[in-house]
Amino acid sequence: MADTRIPNSLILKAWAKKAYESGIHDAFFSRFMGSDAKAIVHRKEELSKGRGTKINIPLLLPLSGAGVLGDNILEGNEEALQYRDFEVELFRVRNAVRLEGEYEEQKTQIDMRRDARTALSAWLSKYVDTSIFSVLTGVLPTWATTPAAFPFPIAAPSTDRIVFGGTATAESGITTADKFTADLIGIAKRKATADEDTAIRPVNVDGHSTYAMVITPNQARDLRNDPKWIEAQKHANIRGEKNPIFSGAMGIYEGVVIHEHTRVPVTATGSSGLKVGHAVFLGAQAVTFAEGTEPKWREKMFDYDNKYGASIGRMFGVARSAFAFDGTNLTDFGVVNVMTASEDD
């Protein structure tokens, strides 16, 4: 008589998928992910089904011609379609955990092997979030000591998509007086929508057009002290909203849902080394998140099968959406960076 057993390769594949999906689900940006260009984080899965390491994202520009009137001749005066595009490249990311040995595992009731899977999933969640914040702001994550240590493209925000707090006109000039306020939310929204041809598109939430903004906890503290914000929240009601974009939000102002998060970059780049918070105002397709091949979970025994190790790896790519609308200069397609003081208490 033969017992039926699940092949080890299928178990590892299942664990890989579970750990990866858990990591993505636990990431802050998971609430903004979607499979179409209407989502803030546009999740592309074409490369998960075949070979290749790059995806080209096209954009059709609006027609700009005046057309013809009456019986004026249209033939020969047609307008050419114009396209712009940008690329997202996949990179392979891996991490691993190795335990001390069987004797060390025997000392505790903790299932250290299960914890290895949990820890790797949590690491992946943080990696995804910090990577997205970094490509949005152009600020390297703290764990990447050099640009070469960070796989995804880093670039400064386009100059027409930046707002500074208070009276500051440059990041290096930000002082303690240049705090985050409710007015900055409106300024960012107006900057995002000022030019019809390059306007940042809102996302549609249950029939309503909205944007999202993510700020640092210290920026959130300053915002909560702003009388305009306090008054607006008396009349704003998002508690009954069930869409993920509202989950955990601190409030809404001028149609912009505000979130605070600890992973928003903070740099000592203000006046005299003042801490600067790099808040992001987000619209549709601000980021493209490209999926590669299936995640891989590996388990390995070392030292005559005494030491247990586990690793997870996946190919994916993250890029800030940007197009050269004028054919030359890149403009961020879905994000406005808002920089203000973000000093500790």
pLDDT one-digit tens code per residue, 33-91: 998 888 999 998 887 777 778 888 888 878 888 999 999 999 999 999 888 888 899 99
In order, the DSSP letters of 21-58 are: HHHHHHSGGGGGEESSTTSSEEEE-GGGGSS-SEEEEE
CATH number of 206's domain: 3.30.1930
253 and 138 assigned to the same domain = no
Residues 6+ apart with CB under 8 A from 90: 47, 53, 54, 290, 292, 315, 316, 317
> Residue 73 domain-assigned?
no
18 and 114 assigned to the same domain = yes
Tell me the chain's radius of gyration from C-alpha atoms: 24
What's residue 4's pLDDT?
43
Nearest to 222 by CA among 268, 276, 155: 276
278 and 178 assigned to the same domain = yes
> Residue 130 domain-assigned?
yes
Q: CA–CA separation, 112 vs 61, rounded Å?
A: 54
24 and 138 assigned to the same domain = yes
Q: How are beta strands 41-44 and 33-34 bridged, if at all?
A: parallel
Q: How confident is the model at residue 220 (pLDDT cuts 50, 70, 90)?
A: very high
> Residue 256 domain-assigned?
yes
Q: Please name the residue ranges forming H helices in 138-226.
A: 182-193, 217-224
More confident residue, 262 or 15: 262
pTM for the model stands at 0.87
> Residue 23 domain-assigned?
yes
Which range marks the domain in which residue 236 is found? Answer: 159-285+335-341
Q: How confident is the model at residue 124 (pLDDT cuts 50, 70, 90)?
A: confident
257 and 165 assigned to the same domain = yes
Residues 6+ apart with CB under 8 A from 230: 224
> Residue 151 domain-assigned?
no
Question: Looking at the 3D structure of the chain, how many domains does it have?
Answer: 2
Mean pLDDT, the chain, integer: 88
281 and 297 assigned to the same domain = no
131 and 219 assigned to the same domain = no
Strand partners, 55: 88
> Residue 152 domain-assigned?
no
Residue 53's identity, in one-letter code, is T
In order, the DSSP letters of 264-313 are: S-EES-SGGG--EEEEEEE-TTSEEEEE-SPPEEEEEEETTTTEEEEEEE
How buried is 69 (Cβ within 10 angstroms: 0-12 exposed, 13-18 middle, 19+ buried)?
exposed
Q: Does residue 310 contact residue 299 with C-beta atoms inside 8 Å?
A: yes
> Residue 228 domain-assigned?
yes
* Residue that the structure tokens 């390059």 belong to: 198
117 and 167 assigned to the same domain = no
57 and 113 assigned to the same domain = yes
Residues 6+ apart with CB under 8 A from 168: 174, 175, 178, 339
> Residue 71 domain-assigned?
no
115 and 215 assigned to the same domain = no
306 and 264 assigned to the same domain = no
24 pLDDT higher than 90: no
What's residue 113's pLDDT?
84
Quote the percentage of the chain above a pLDDT of 70: 90
- The C-alpha angle with vertex 216 and arms to 289 and 24, in degrees rounded to 5, equals 30
Instruction: Give the DSSP letter of residue 231.
Output: H
240 and 309 assigned to the same domain = no
